[in-house]
Amino acid sequence: MAKLSSVYVDGRKVQTDALDDHLGQSDLILEATGVASLEFNLIDALGINGVYVITGIPGGDHPLNISGAALMRQLVLNNQVLVGSVNASPAHFQMAVNDLKYAYEQWPQVLNELITRKVSYEHFREALTQHSDSDIKVVIEWS
């Protein structure tokens, strides 16, 4: 049986360039901040045959100094994949819902740990503005 596990890393507590020293190499990185310097720093933590999914769109025009040749060598020699994604269609959204349902049936404890807090829609501002250091995903309930 396949094993699924995940770790939420608070970037305020662990420097991104030391992430692999802290956790080891990652098979999958899902990044959604939209901070270009962070996005590039996380590539170092990607393991062999790893997949890095970027959904955050960087704002502004802040130049970065990166070694393009070293980056390309790493991606090719380590058989790594870099994927960017945004604005999925309704059919893709339904596929994601189906995949989440399947994952929940296989590994309910892991998915339950991702939702750290639920807030009634009457208190939506709290869900958007007040976060504890342990929050991973806050859900607004409409019941």
- DSSP states of the chain as a string? ----------TTTS-GGGHHHHH--EEEEEE-S--HHHHHHHGGGEEEEEEEEE-----S-------HHHHHHHHHHTT-EEEE-----HHHHHHHHHHHHHHHHH-HHHHHHHEEEEEEGGGHHHHHH---TT-SEEEEE--
Share of the chain above pLDDT 90, in %: 23
Please tell me whether the overall predicted TM-score, pTM, comes out greater than 0.75 for this model: no
pLDDT per position as a tens digit, 39-71: 888 898 999 999 999 988 888 887 888 889 999
Q: Please report the pLDDT score of residue 3 as a whole number.
A: 62
> Is the pLDDT reported for residue 1 higher than 60?
no
pLDDT per position as a tens digit, 121-131: 888 888 888 88
